Chain A
Amino acid sequence: MADKQPSACVPCQGKGLCGGKGLLTLKDGAWTNNPLSIQVLGICSALAVTNKLENSLVMGGALIFVCVGSNLFVSLLRKWTPHRIRMIAEVAIIATFVILFDQFLKAFYWDMSKQLGPYVGLIITNCIIMGRAEAFALQNPPVLSIVDGAANGLGYAVVLAIIGFFRELLGSGEVLGHRLLDGDWYTPNQLMILAPGAFFALGVVIAIFNIFRKPDAQEKKE
């Protein structure tokens, strides 16, 4: 395992608190290095729960919550966490936030909890969150880590919402349960609701993101 993974964005070590780095971190997580469309991480849940926009939004919210929470605490504890068990500590922190969210859904949004099924619990294994804890929160101060967590969560949530919107629209002719495409001239394409539809939608989203993204320095060299 790489002990000190280089941060995906410009780290602000040795420059005091994040002065000026906040926006850069935000842009990096949500756009330049978007976890889903650029790094293609965490697509398991992205494929599984995006058959409806509502599910996608809740899942995106869950990821933002967990990513902000775990980044904050991993960052706060970074100077005290023994290096050897840092990953176990990270998992414990992540799992705590995930279970908190899961219990909250089960108690107050039962139907949503039922629809998302095991995928809320599986956020624990979502590579985005562990990745941000390892690559960013371990080396950066708490406030900047919160920004990074929110940015990556947001990047994931927005892509999820886009996929969810189109899958629900094309797959059932509805958006958030409101019928938009009339049944007379549009026959809902069931494929979009099933797993293959998610692959197609994600592929198109990745392609579009790549059209608009400037290739970074390393890719240019190659």
Chain B
Amino acid sequence: MKGSLYTLIYAAVLGTVCALLLTAVADVTAPFRQANAEAERNRNILKVLQISYPPEVSVSKLVEIFENNVEMKVLGELQFYRYPKGPGQAETVAFAFEGAGLWGPIKGFLALGPEMRTIRGITFYQQEETPGLGGEIASAKFGKQFQGRKIVDASGKVGIVIKGGGEKRAVNEVDAITGATMTCEKVEAMLNSVIEKIVQETGNNG
């Protein structure tokens, strides 16, 4: 019994010391980590809006570039980022999208032209899909396919389609990734959920 009590106390003390130490460190590094995460988000918005910036830029400079170029706007319930900043005509706008992937959450941005129908770019800044299969959604090759696609097809049907097969593509179709059917289905669903909202807010006549 005495041995068990000692063991319990030892475990409790060791656990507490480790936990306190880690809490302290997490506390000290929190502002830096948050700044990094924020910068990462901004970097992705800049990327999807095709705003160029020096590659080795510091975090504070990045925030400055972001704030000089990008403005956050609201469209109905949706928030979006608009470039360039100011009263004139927008060149590109970016909408955030997110949803459940195969292994974990997927988050990214979808950039559209000013008329909000043509895709300018897409980026995934958080994903844990299978490397080499679903993970390829983050590759430049997959992302590039989206450029110039329409979010509404010729017959007025809303939404993009990610599907396999080598046939000629409709204006709202992109090629799926072989071996990543489930990831592609999930990405398609999360994109279409935001696309539907965009089309709803901007009217179906675009």
A15 in the interface (beta carbon within 8 A): no
Measured in the bound complex, the distance between the Cα atoms of B153 and A112 in whole Å is 42
Q: Which of B15, B32, B39 has the most CB of A within 10 A?
A: B32
Given contact pairs A82-B3, A85-B11, A110-B40, A99 touches B22 in the complex (Cβ within 8 A):
yes
A104: nearest chain-B partner, CB-CB: B29
A80 in the interface (beta carbon within 8 A): yes
* Contact call B33/A106, Cβ cutoff below 8 A: yes
Chain A count of residues within 8 A CB distance of the other chain:
21
* Contact call B18/A103, Cβ cutoff below 8 A: no
Nearest Cβ on chain A to B15's Cβ, whole angstroms: 6
What 1/0 mask marks residues of chain B from 2 to 18 whose CB sits below 8 Å from any chain A CB? 01001100110011001
B25 in the interface (beta carbon within 8 A): yes
Size band of the interface chain B makes with A: 10 to 19
Given contact pairs A95-B18, A96-B18, A99-B22, A89 touches B36 in the complex (Cβ within 8 A):
no
B39: nearest chain-A partner, CB-CB: A110
* Contact call B18/A108, Cβ cutoff below 8 A: no
Nearest Cβ on chain A to B143's Cβ, whole angstroms: 18
Interface residues of B in 102-131 (CB under 8 A from A): none
Q: Which of A88, A92, A93, A95 has the most CB of B within 10 A?
A: A92
Measured in the bound complex, the distance between the Cα atoms of B11 and A81 in whole Å is 9
B residues in contact with A10, CB < 8 Å = none
Q: What are the 5 closest A-B residue pairs judged by CB atoms, nearest first?
A: A107-B32, A107-B29, A110-B36, A82-B7, A96-B18
- Which residues of A are in contact with B by a Cβ distance under 8 Å? 77, 80-82, 84-85, 88-89, 92-93, 95-96, 99-100, 103-104, 106-108, 110, 114
User: Can you list 13 A-B contacts (CB < 8 A)?
Assistant: A82-B3, A82-B10, A84-B7, A85-B7, A85-B10, A88-B11, A96-B22, A100-B22, A103-B25, A103-B33, A106-B32, A106-B36, A107-B33
- Which residues of B are in contact with A by a Cβ distance under 8 Å? 3, 6-7, 10-11, 14-15, 18, 21-22, 25-26, 29, 32-33, 36, 39-40
